[in-house]
């Protein structure tokens, strides 16, 4: 589970894109082999992450909202800058 991903794992960013206040990252943990897509929505003021399988990683990276509606999110929370 990636709930506390920033504190418990070393993550490597495999891919990144940003457009119109959205940032999407594809992250990989060398320790566990887990892959995750993390989305930061500046306009909506939230972020979320989804664990993904290797065979679907790039598709989820390209279309994260299409996949987010049908699967459990590892976390969904307001951005600190918006919540403060």
CB 4 within 8 A of CB 33: no
Residue in 39, 31, 43, 47 with CA at minimum distance from that of residue 15: 39
Alpha-carbon distances of 44 from 49, 60, 63, 80, 81, rounded to whole Å? 15, 20, 17, 12, 12
**What global pTM score does this model have?**
0.77
Residues 6+ apart with CB under 8 A from 65: 39
pLDDT in tens, the chain (84 residues): 444 445 556 889 999 999 998 999 999 999 889 999 999 988 888 889 999 999 999 999 999 999 988 887 776 666 554 434
Structure token digits, residue 27: 């992250």
Domain boundaries of the chain, sorted by first residue: 5-77
């Amino acid at each position: 589970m990636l709930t506390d991903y920033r504190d418990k794992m070393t993550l490597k960013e495999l891919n990144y894109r940003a457009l119109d206040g959205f940032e999407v990252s594809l992250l990989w943990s060398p320790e566990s082999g887990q892959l995750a897509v993390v989305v930061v929505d500046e306009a909506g003021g939230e972020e979320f992450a989804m664990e993904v399988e290797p065979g679907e990683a790039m598709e989820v990276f390209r279309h994260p909202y299409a996949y987010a509606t049908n699967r459990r999110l590892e976390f969904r929370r307001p951005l600190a800058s918006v919540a403060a």
